[in-house]
Structure 1
Amino acid sequence: MASDTTAIVEQPGKGDKEWMPKPQVSGCPPGLEYLTVIDQILVKQKVELFEAFTGIDCKNKYVMTNSMGQQVYFAYEESGLCMRLCCSQYRSFTMHILDNQGQEVIRVTRPFQICAGCCWCISGKNCCAYRITIEAPPGNPIGYVHQGCSVWKPKYYVQDEDMNDVLSIGGPCCPCQCCCGCTGDVHFRFYGKDGIEIGSVSKVWNGLVKEMFTKADSFTVTFPKDLDVKQKATLLGAMFLIEFMYFESEDQT
């Protein structure tokens, strides 16, 4: 894994990205220090030329920057070719999130689930609900996100390491973007236990041409600066669940 990581991560000094300096903070999981001082992360999927020319789905890669354009993390997907070809957005995956030293600091895992995703069929936390596990560092679970039962609008529950509900996420009735229908940003809003909105993950509308001819998505994740760092990392993981459930399928059309 070490050699693969070195090849995948965009190291400082290469390309046109400036890396965010690592804050000197104690008392949080290694690598999450960056999250303690920011309230917004911009996530941009990298364009794969092979995928653009062939239509064959490649493993996703993402660059994450702060509001000043400094790169915070780099993420890449681990999944099987058969999963990507046969299961598309329903596939299982592991998302490895690396810091500017090329060290994996966050891992997001979604298992493969048959007959999952229908919000009407979910009861509690049964097999019909999509779920992800967030680890920081890898091997140490810090949070979970699972799909909730809803009649129409998407709903998710965010849990801490002890599987206690701490936040919720609510999406719009029609979480899609298409050239002949909805355009503009799509917002999935974060709510505290008191029901007050505290942030969001937004799928950014990149313009008609880019949306039609590229498969690279862009997202903005916002949260309070003083939010618990583990919850920030968990909300970042929730973005990948939302991406695969609602926007990876659009990329295939």
Structure 2
Amino acid sequence: MDSSGVAVQMQGPPPNAQGLPPGLQYLAGLNEINIHQHLDILEVATGFERNNKYKICNNQDQQFMYAKEDTDCCTRQLCGPGRPFTMNITDNNFQPLISLYRPLRCQASFMWCCYLQEMDIMSPPGLSVGGIKQLWTPWKPKFQVHDAQQTPLFEIEGECCFCCPCTDIMFTVTDIAKGQQIGEIIKHWGGCREIFGGVNDFKVTFPMEMDTMQKALLLGATFLIDFNYFEPKKN
């Protein structure tokens, strides 16, 4: 972001990114992305849940994608952060790139072992490239990322104290085939923005040479983690 707090847009895609859906070439040349949830003043003032919006930026906070939730009003108010949602991710010209869909899931702890969270990721929208499934554990958050053929690719594991205030929360990303950590999803402590606005900021890291669609899967996983653990419960 610049000194005024406004995200600066990227001027052009990195080189050598042929054969990708339009706009995704930005993602191909990155090893880190930052996700900033939009502070909705009307929502803060009224307590009336509105569709979430996010700016997706590179490591210099230059915006190259935009994400917006598409959920009806009644669902947002009645179901809270456990609601089913579609998240549409576009480039800066609002051309569709990625679509995320999470079905309705109960967030009650006694149901976690049999009604776990999941998300389908499509790019371009309508064509599944994989998804994320929550794995049951008694204490640590844990997810498995798979491709369109249901082949497990990554495991994402959080910390035991994943709801501690005033600190960054880290989720490690492990390559299942290699058995080694290859990235992180970090939920940054947002200070007043988080306390009074209920908005969250994330950083996602991965190898530069990682397949672009696999990067898209980790991007999608970040939104599932956000809704599952860090969205304020207003009802």
TM-score (norm 2): 0.90
Q: Cα distance 1:118–1:108, how it changes in 2: closer, same or farther (>3 A)? A: farther
Q: Cα distance 1:120–1:229, how it changes in 2: closer, same or farther (>3 A)? A: same
Residue 103 of structure 2 is aligned to residue 111 of structure 1 = yes
- Aligned residue among 188, 201, 207 for 1:204: 188
- Aligned residue among 56, 68, 74 for 2:66: 74
Q: Deviations over 1:130-159 (max 9, x none)?
A: 110111100111111000121211110000
Question: Aligned partners of 1:42 and 1:96: how far apart in 2?
Answer: 17
Q: CA RMSD in A?
A: 1.9
**Aligned 8 A contact 1:117 1:130 in 2:** no
Q: Cα distance 1:19–1:117, how it changes in 2: closer, same or farther (>3 A)? A: farther
Q: Cα distance 1:245–1:16, how it changes in 2: closer, same or farther (>3 A)? A: closer
Q: Cα distance 1:120–1:111, how it changes in 2: closer, same or farther (>3 A)? A: closer
Question: Aligned partners of 1:224 and 1:16: how far apart in 2?
Answer: 24
1:163: which partner in 2?
A: 150
SS at structure 1 position matched to 2:9: coil
Question: Aligned partners of 1:104 and 1:37: how far apart in 2?
Answer: 19
TM-superposed deviation, 1:117: 6.4
Question: Aligned partners of 2:50 and 2:210: how far apart in 1?
Answer: 34
1:217: which partner in 2?
A: 200
Gaps of 5+ in 1: 1-14, 123-127
**Aligned 8 A contact 2:65 2:89 in 1:** yes
TM-superposed deviation, 1:62: 0.3
Q: Cα distance 1:94–1:116, how it changes in 2: closer, same or farther (>3 A)? A: farther
List structure 1 runs of 4+ shifted beyond 3 angstroms.
114-120
1:53: which partner in 2?
A: 45
**Aligned 8 A contact 1:117 1:129 in 2:** no
TM-score (norm 1): 0.84
**Greater percentage in strand:** 2
Q: Cα distance 1:161–1:199, how it changes in 2: closer, same or farther (>3 A)? A: same
Gaps of 5+ in 2: 1-5
Question: Aligned partners of 2:7 and 2:131: how far apart in 1?
Answer: 34
Aligned residues, how many?
228
TM-superposed deviation, 1:58: 0.8
